[in-house]
Amino acid sequence: MNGSRQPLRIVLACVVAALIAGAAQGQTTAPPATQPAGPPTAPPARQSVAPTAPSAPPPSFEALAWLRGCWEGKAARNQFNEQWQSARGGMMLGSSQMVVGQRTQDYTYLRIESRPDGLYYVAVPSGKKEIAFKLTGVEDDKGVKVFTFTNPQDEFPQRVVYRHREHGLLFAQAGGKVDGKDREVTYPMHRVDCVTGALASD
């Protein structure tokens, strides 16, 4: 009886071992869990840049065409005059003279020239070095054309202003500070015929 059971136990043991081995082989390593793919990332929005307004063109010699010709004025015993040529080759040439009584007290060579950063009024007084004033303002003051040239120097003047009115009127002003105080000198002039000296209009 015992002898017949022994082979059966061996067979059962082999079957159990085979089942365990088959179960072990059937187990596979589960792949690592993956995160669900999120929505695609949108590219960064471009920042819109407001278009820059075009800057106003700088004044040209055309704005000063009225200055061409001869101008004269008087104040007490002082007589003063200016003469200007037409603009040519990026430059407008002129001169001024101050006569006291019957004698020339002062004269100045003038020019308005074009430079990379704008127009400049350049004065070369008799016996002195030249001074350049940049055109920094052009405005219409109730029908009066005002042209302002400036130079932040220490000596007077620091400002030259030309005011052009209708009917051939010109007011040339030199202004600035002297010893910390404001000072302004005005030379009123009329347009005159360069040959006869008779009054003329624009």
Token pair listed for 34: 């993956």
Domains located in the chain, CATH noted = 61-192 (2.40.128.20)
pLDDT digit string, tens, across residues 15-35: 334 434 444 444 444 444 455
Q: Residue 107's pLDDT is what?
A: 97
Torsional class of 23: left (φ above 0), alpha (ψ -120 to 50), beta (otherwise)? alpha
Q: What angle is formed at CA 197 by the lines to CA 195 and CA 199, rounded to 5 degrees?
A: 125
Q: Residue 18's pLDDT is what?
A: 42
Coil vs helix vs strand at 40: coil
Q: Residue 136's pLDDT is what?
A: 97
Strand 144-150 relative to strand 131-141, pairing: antiparallel
- Which residues, in sequence order, are CB contacts of 178 under 8 Å at separation 6+? 156
Residues (pLDDT < 50) of the chain are: 1-33
Q: Residues 127, 120, 178, 84: is their CA dihedral positive or negative?
A: positive
Q: Residue 45's pLDDT is what?
A: 56
Token pair listed for 48: 């819109």
Q: Which of 61, 101, 59, 100 is nearest to 84 (CA)?
A: 61
Q: What span, in angstroms and rounded, lies between the C-alpha atoms of 30 and 33? A: 8
Kindly write down the DSSP assignment for every residue of 135-156, as one continuous string. EEEEEEETTEEEEEEE---SSS
Q: Residue 44's pLDDT is what?
A: 57
Q: Residue 67's pLDDT is what?
A: 97
pTM: 0.71
Residue showing tokens 């159990």: 16
**CA-atom Rg of the chain in angstroms:** 47
Q: Residue 20's pLDDT is what?
A: 41
